[in-house]
Structure 1
Amino acid sequence: MEDLKAYIESGVLELYVLGDLTEGEKLEVETMLDKHPQLRNEVTEIEKSLESYSQASAVNPPEDLRSKILGDLETSDSRSETPVIPLNQPKNIRFYKYGFAASVALLILSLIALINMRSQLKESQNQITALQLSNRQYSSRVNFVEKQLDEANQSLSIFHKPDEYKIVSLKGTPKAPSARMMVAFNPEKAEVMIDLASVEMPANDNSHQYQLWALVDGKPVDLGVFDADRDSVGMIKMKTLKNAQAFAVTLEPRGGSINPTMEMMMAMGEI
């Protein structure tokens, strides 16, 4: 759940909604959306926020603009009606014709100016929206980095307390020779924690998880499951335990098993 929160705070979902991702990045986001329905809810909320902002920021023309334009047209039409003029007044006829043409030209210029102004306002609104999204993305990334730093400091503080925590190094078995991880064990507090930054395991698929076991008087005791995520840092607490002689990790169906699958033993270490 912490990893999903960090993924949301990374800002990649905002970029996905804006269409500002490469095809590869877009495919990765859509894969995450298929795996985690809660991410789709987040995308929906982002889309709603953008739509609400656009509607709230939309600039509508004044209510009296339509009536004003129609009034100008009616005035122009009334002026365009051919008056009863004696044949000896050709200059007045030309004046009315030119006045009507000037009124129509002025109306067209006003409409063009209004359209250009609305286009400029829309462009400004888009720039403001992009800036706000950029600020939100930057803030999310800062929070994500600060969270990782706090988790790393937590790990360091535990490793600097050898009198409280026993650091057990688990090494790979013939099933996974390159597997590595470290477990911090505090018998007095009955705490067992995994250092995620030290986990070097083959990536597990969606149908499987790694399960941590403690060997107590020769019997395996379940301590919980975890995923091998190379981007994760910090310590995660497993189930409580006061006594153990060794720790081991197996690959099990997602959610864990009652008993360890011995042929899927990936790493093991003695205290």
Structure 2
Amino acid sequence: MENVQAYIESGILELYVLGDISPEERLQVEEMAANHSEVKAEIGEIELSMEAFAETHAVETSELVKTKILNSLLVNLGDDKTFTKPRKHNSEEVFEDEVDNVIALPARRSNFYKYAFAACLTLLLISVYGIVNLYSKLQESSTQLTAMQLDKQKIANQVNVMDDELDIYRDTSYKVLKLKGVAKSPQSAMTLAWSPVTKKVVLDMHSVKLPAHDKQHQYQLWALVGGKPVDMGVFDLNTDTASVKQMKSIAMADAFAVTLEPAGGSAGPTLDQMVVMGGTK
């Protein structure tokens, strides 16, 4: 019985009538009212007291006060306890007793929504920051992946080139020919490998020692067959950076020579621009 009286005096029943308690507390009050007639009777008395209080203090407020209340609700200022002192507004005077009789609205619920909105906004900003940060990291990872793929392709190309070089040494049908500089360019030299069986001709670009040339010219390889020159393709000291370069195929050749020609090559060799030459026997 003492516990019931202490519960009644705790003030929770007044909050229950005002509707200012949590759903869990509401269920607890209703359970207590169902089990204890004293609690139920106290709730009834509180309701009657509040109705009487509201009727006693009810006043017909002016339009100015009503407008102020509505504006206060719209801007979430439910925690205002009083309004401004009496003043005239549009030729209508607001009296002191009229303002004092306005019952302040509970601020707790309004404050709750303001804090909830602020919390939601904070979470939204944090989420946006997280998404932007994640997107940046994904972009960085994508760039790194692209770079790795390019490196992988470059390594694969280098491996293929090395395999081609090894094939030259493994295949006994290849002849390694050293072309030497002519009178015009005695310091020039280069090495090529030629297989009469597979008809392949491969230049060793690391061994090339030829005079530098401008962008308007390229070196052109020729095969001499029965005294006649046969075009074997062009190569460029500035852009051909691979260790080996495969040229056009040929089955028969008495010798090979290199001349400097206009970019793209010529139909016939410019003999006074010959830099190296070497026989096949």
Say yes or no: TM over 0.5: yes
Give 3-state SS (helix, strand or coil) of 2:100's partner: coil
Matched, 1:127 2:137: yes
CA separation of 1:146/1:86 partners in 2, compared to 1, >3 Å: closer, same or farther?
Answer: same
Q: Give the corresponding residue for 2:154.
A: 144
Q: How does 1:1-271 map to 2 (within 5 A)?
A: 77=74, 87-88=100-101, 92-93=104-105, 95-96=106-107, 100=110, 103-162=113-172, 164-173=173-182, 175-228=184-237, 229=239, 231-238=241-248, 240-271=249-280
Could you tell me how far apart the structure 2 residues matched to 1:195 and 1:77 are?
85
For structure 1, which runs of at least 5 residues remain unmatched after alignment? 1-73
Q: TM-score scaled to structure 2, two decimals?
A: 0.57
For structure 2, which runs of at least 5 residues remain unmatched after alignment? 1-70, 84-97
Residue 142 (structure 1) shift: 1.9
Letter in 1 for 2:171: K
Q: CA RMSD in A?
A: 3.4
Could you tell me how far apart the structure 2 residues matched to 1:105 and 1:203 are?
77
Letter in 2 for 1:198: S
Could you tell me how far apart the structure 1 residues matched to 2:117 and 2:265 are?
76
Could you tell me how far apart the structure 1 residues matched to 2:72 and 2:266 are?
87
Residue 143 (structure 1) shift: 2.3
Give 3-state SS (helix, strand or coil) of 1:199's partner: strand
- In 1, are the aligned partners of 2:218 and 2:234 still within 8 Å (CA)? yes
- In 2, are the aligned partners of 1:213 and 1:247 still within 8 Å (CA)? yes
After superposition, the C-alpha distances for 1:83-135 in whole angstroms (9 at most, x for unaligned) are: 99972466x34x43x65455445434432431232122111111112112212
Could you tell me how far apart the structure 2 residues matched to 1:77 and 1:138 are?
58
Percent identity of equivalent pairs: 30
Give 3-state SS (helix, strand or coil) of 2:203's partner: strand
Could you tell me how far apart the structure 1 residues matched to 2:124 and 2:159 are?
53
Could you tell me how far apart the structure 1 residues matched to 2:219 and 2:113 are?
80
Could you tell me how far apart the structure 2 residues matched to 1:225 and 1:177 are?
21
Aligned residue-pair number: 193
Could you tell me how far apart the structure 1 residues matched to 2:165 and 2:124 are?
62
CA separation of 1:219/1:121 partners in 2, compared to 1, >3 Å: closer, same or farther?
Answer: same
Larger radius of gyration: 2
Could you tell me how far apart the structure 1 residues matched to 2:197 and 2:119 are?
84
Give 3-state SS (helix, strand or coil) of 2:158's partner: helix
